[in-house]
Amino acid sequence: MSLWMILPVSLPVLTITGIWVVYAMALYNQHVCPVDNWLYNQSCEEALYLQSGPSFCCTLDNVPLISKCGTLPPESCFFSLICSTGSFMVMVIVLLRYAHVIEKHQNCVLNTASLSTGWICAAGLIMVGNFQVDNAKVLHYVGAGIAFPTSMLFVGLQSALTYRLAKTQGEYNMAHFRLCMTLLALVALVLSGVFFCQESFTLQHASAIFEWVFCVTVMLFYGTFAFEFAGISGDTMVMLSRGGGRLRSTGIEHKVDSMAGTHSQPHPIQPDNMSIL
C-alpha cells in the first residue's frame, strides 16, 4: 500500500473542513445569514454586522453562498488560502491519476481530456479564491465559470474512464459509486445555476444550498482516488516522465528484436562446387 493514497483523502478533509470554517467565521462576524434561515427582505435598517438580538434582518447580500462567506476579512484570507492550497493539490492528484492510468493500462483520449479539464479547473479555483465577488466581481465570475463546468466535466470523464478500465468486481463497484456521485453533482450544479438566476428569495437560498452540495460532492469524488493511489509506486513517476511512450517503445523494441533475429540467421551453406569456383 502506497502512502500516495493519503493525498486524495487529505484534499476533501482540507477543503470541506476549510470552507465550513470559513462559513463559521462569516456567521460569527455576521457577514452572512445561517443556512437554516429562509426569510429575506428587500432592505434592512441596519447592515447585518451592526444588528444584535436573537433575530436578524437578512437581504440577498447575506445569502450564505460559498463565495459570499469568503468575501470579507478575516474569513476572506482563509478562503484564499484554502482555494490556493486546494487547487495545487488538485493539480497533483490529476497528474498522478493520469500517470497511473498510463502505467497500469494505456493512454487514451479520456485520460488526456481528464488531465486537461482537471488543470483548467484548478486555474479557475485559484481565481475564485483570490478575486472576491464583492471586490472583483467579473474576475470572480470568470473563475467560477471556469471551475464549476470543468470540475463537472472532470468527474464525468473519470467515471467513464473508471468503467472503461474496470476488470474486477471491486473496480466495477467503484465505478458505480463514482457514477452516483457524478449524477448527484450534476443535479446540484444545474439546480444551483437555475435557482441563482431567479429573483425569488427562497430559490436564491436554495441555490446556495445546492452549491454547497455540489462542492462537497466533487471534493469527496477526489477522495475516491485513494482506491487507485494505493497502488502507486516509483514506476508511476518513471512512466509519467515517459508519457504515453510505453506502447510505442515496446513496439519499436519488438521490431528491432525481430530485425536482429532476421540478420542473425546464418547464411545458407554454399555448395562445394561453388566454393571451388
150-171 pLDDT, tens digit each: 999 999 999 999 999 999 999 9
Our CA dihedral for 162, 168, 173, 179, rounded to 10 degrees, sits at: 20
Residue 134 DSSP code: T
pLDDT at 250: 42
Q: What is the DSSP string of 256-272?
A: HHHHHHHHTSPPPPPPH
pTM here is 0.85
pLDDT at 263: 44
**Buried-exposed string 164-178: b where 16+ CB fall within 10 A, e elsewhere:** ebeeeeeeeebbeeb
Instruction: Measure Cα distances from 169 to 79, 103, 178 in Å.
Output: 40, 21, 14
Residues with pLDDT less than 50, the chain: 245-277
Distant-in-sequence, close-in-space partners of 242: CB < 8 Å, separation ≥ 6: 249
pLDDT at 109: 93
| Cβ count near 57 (within 10 Å) | 17
Distance in angstroms (rounded) separating the CA atoms of residues 222 and 263: 52
> Cα–Cα–Cα angle for 16, 22, 26, nearest 5°?
145
Distance in angstroms (rounded) separating the CA atoms of residues 140 and 126: 10
Judge contact between 70 and 26, C-beta under 8 A: yes
Residue 48 DSSP code: G
CA 157 to chain centre: 11
Distance in angstroms (rounded) separating the CA atoms of residues 28 and 184: 30
pLDDT at 243: 57
3-class SS at 105?
Answer: coil
pLDDT tens digits for range 78-124 = 999 999 999 999 999 999 999 989 887 778 899 999 999 999 999 99
| Residue entry with cell 488538485 | 90
Judge contact between 102 and 246, C-beta under 8 A: yes
Distance in angstroms (rounded) separating the CA atoms of residues 236 and 202: 49
Identify each DSSP E strand in the chain by its residue range. Answer: none
